[in-house]
């Protein structure tokens, strides 16, 4: 059963060697409505910690030429927030470790100045002027202002299991770990973005919350998820459903595996599990990513002994951004990591009956969180 909540996996995992060469982040994405027009607008908020054992009073930025020349690895808390759409932005705010208060066990809590993240709340603000953005390319961000005050209710989980099951003892085994405590989450509150106010409600937020941690990032990097789903068979919205697909090319003890994905669909209480690490399911996966003139397109087919899932997702390139991260060693390998929050597409679910696949439902999906990035291997 993958819908198994476990807040211990949301605790900070940077202990021992990982505290010197590791990252851990808590990601949240959701849709808000313009307080004046009611128009939908997708947002994201992330708390990203890097190499806490190396830090001090000031954040150490890995892309700063002086730090690169001295061989200094990055160390900071980075608060990232932004939006997708025609005015897509990613805004970054950095804190040195002497400014950060972090609860080291579950339930997690991180605080720095007015920025707070926990299992149930998100607060904070970021302001980056155009002049500061131009003067500091090492910040890897855009200009703008944003503030938020939100509560979070994590309703359906994707507990990956093996590969994240023993994070403290076997944390060096995989290069990148994943846990989605709230792949379906209800957010409430308010966003103020560039002086415009947006409201966030549980009914229309289509929220998502997960975390990743490790020593490096996967390539290719794939993520697709939505809980704004409508059955083509009945015409009804699936209010107790969500799908989540992630992965790419995992590394175990520095050895890359073949292209693999972790995928699940929670369909009105019924679990469809396409987790490649569950060997008894005999999961087979094929996926592709296509960059067209105006759109990017994902095709994913996953199959196990009991079912199959076919996913086709689109997103406008003009609505997306290249999301920026630097690895704990200070390198920035992903420079075209497509990231969006208003994708759309279809998911076909099949049950295997007497050896044959029978269509369970064809589902229209919108408000899809989506990512893809790949860099040349060394």
Q: Return the structure tokens found at 263.
A: 């995928």
* 2 belongs to a structural domain: no
By CB atoms closer than 10 A (0-12, 13-18, 19+), residue 170 is: middle
What's the CATH number where 105 sits?
2.40.370.10
Find, among 316, 304, 314, the residue nearest to 264 by Cα: 304
Residue the block writes with tokens 């229309």? 204
pLDDT at residue 278, as a whole number: 79
Each residue's pLDDT, cut to its tens digit, for the chain (378 residues) gives: 999 999 999 999 999 999 999 999 999 999 999 999 999 999 999 999 999 999 889 999 999 999 999 999 999 999 999 999 999 999 999 999 999 999 979 999 999 999 999 999 999 999 999 999 999 999 999 999 999 999 999 999 999 985 544 444 444 555 789 999 999 999 999 999 999 999 999 999 999 999 999 998 888 899 999 999 999 999 999 999 999 999 865 544 444 456 678 999 999 999 999 987 777 888 899 999 999 999 999 999 999 999 999 999 999 999 999 999 999 999 999 999 999 999 999 999 999 999 999 999 999 999 999 999 998 764
- Distance between CA atoms of residues 59 and 139, nearest Å: 11
pLDDT at residue 258, as a whole number: 61
pLDDT at residue 169, as a whole number: 47
**What is the percentage of the chain residues whose pLDDT exceeds 90?**
85
What's the domain range around 219?
A: 7-373
* 87 belongs to a structural domain: yes
Find, among 181, 123, 190, 122, the residue nearest to 155 by Cα: 181
* 1 belongs to a structural domain: no
* 201 belongs to a structural domain: yes
Find, among 182, 205, 248, 169, the residue nearest to 10 by Cα: 182
For the stretch 159-214, pLDDT in tens is 998 554 444 444 455 578 999 999 999 999 999 999 999 999 999 999 999 999 99
Q: How many structural domains does the chain have?
A: 1
Q: CA torsion sign, 311 to 316 to 319 to 321?
A: positive
* 378 belongs to a structural domain: no
Contacts for 119 with CB less than 8 Å, ≥ 6 apart: 7, 10, 107, 108, 152, 154, 181
pLDDT at residue 247, as a whole number: 84
For the stretch 272-306, pLDDT in tens is 999 877 778 888 999 999 999 999 999 999 999 99
> Dihedrals φ, ψ of 36, to 5°?
-95, -45
- Contact by Cβ (8 Å): 144, 88: no
pLDDT at residue 249, as a whole number: 57
pLDDT at residue 337, as a whole number: 97
3-state secondary structure of 113: coil
Q: What is 131-191 written as a DSSP string?
A: HHHHH-GGG----EEEEEEEEEEEEEEE---TTSSSTTTSTTTBSEEEEEEEEEEEEEEEE
- Distance between CA atoms of residues 344 and 352, nearest Å: 26
């Amino acid at each position: 059963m993958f819908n198994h909540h476990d807040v211990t996996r949301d605790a900070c995992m940077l202990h021992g060697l990982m505290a010197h060469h590791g990252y851990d982040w808590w990601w949240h994405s959701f849709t808000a409505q313009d307080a004046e027009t009611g128009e939908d607008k997708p947002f994201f908020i992330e708390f990203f910690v890097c190499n806490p054992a190396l830090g001090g009073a000031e954040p150490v930025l890995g892309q700063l030429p002086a730090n690169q020349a001295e061989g200094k690895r990055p160390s900071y808390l980075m608060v990232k927030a932004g939006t997708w759409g025609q005015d897509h932005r990613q805004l970054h705010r950095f804190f040195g470790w002497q400014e950060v208060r972090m609860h080291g066990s579950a339930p997690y809590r991180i605080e720095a100045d007015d920025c707070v993240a926990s299992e149930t709340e998100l607060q904070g603000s970021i302001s980056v002027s155009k002049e500061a953005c131009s003067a500091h390319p090492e910040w890897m961000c855009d200009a703008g202002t944003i503030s938020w005050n939100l509560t979070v209710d994590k309703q359906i989980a994707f507990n990956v299991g093996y590969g994240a099951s023993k994070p403290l003892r076997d944390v060096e085994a995989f290069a990148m770990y994943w846990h989605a405590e709230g792949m379906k989450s209800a957010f409430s509150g308010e966003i103020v973005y560039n002086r415009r106010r947006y409201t966030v409600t549980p009914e229309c937020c289509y929220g998502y919350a997960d975390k990743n941690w490790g020593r490096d990032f996967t390539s290719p990097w794939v993520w697709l998820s939505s809980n704004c789903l409508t059955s083509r068979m009945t015409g009804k919205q699936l209010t107790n459903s969500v799908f989540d697909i992630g992965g790419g090319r995992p590394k175990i003890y520095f050895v890359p595996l073949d292209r693999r994905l972790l995928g699940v669909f929670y369909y009105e209480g019924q679990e469809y599990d396409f987790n490649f690490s569950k060997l008894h399911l005999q999961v087979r996966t094929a996926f592709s990513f296509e960059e067209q003139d105006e759109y990017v397109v994902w095709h994913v087919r996953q199959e196990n002994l009991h079912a199959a899932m076919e996913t086709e997702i689109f997103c406008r390139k003009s609505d997306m951004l290249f999301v920026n991260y630097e690895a704990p060693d200070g390198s920035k390998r992903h420079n075209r990591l497509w990231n969006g929050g208003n994708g759309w597409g279809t998911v076909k679910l099949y049950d295997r009956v007497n050896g044959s696949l029978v269509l369970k439902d064809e589902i229209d999906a919108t408000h899809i969180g989506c990512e893809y990035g790949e860099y040349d291997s060394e």
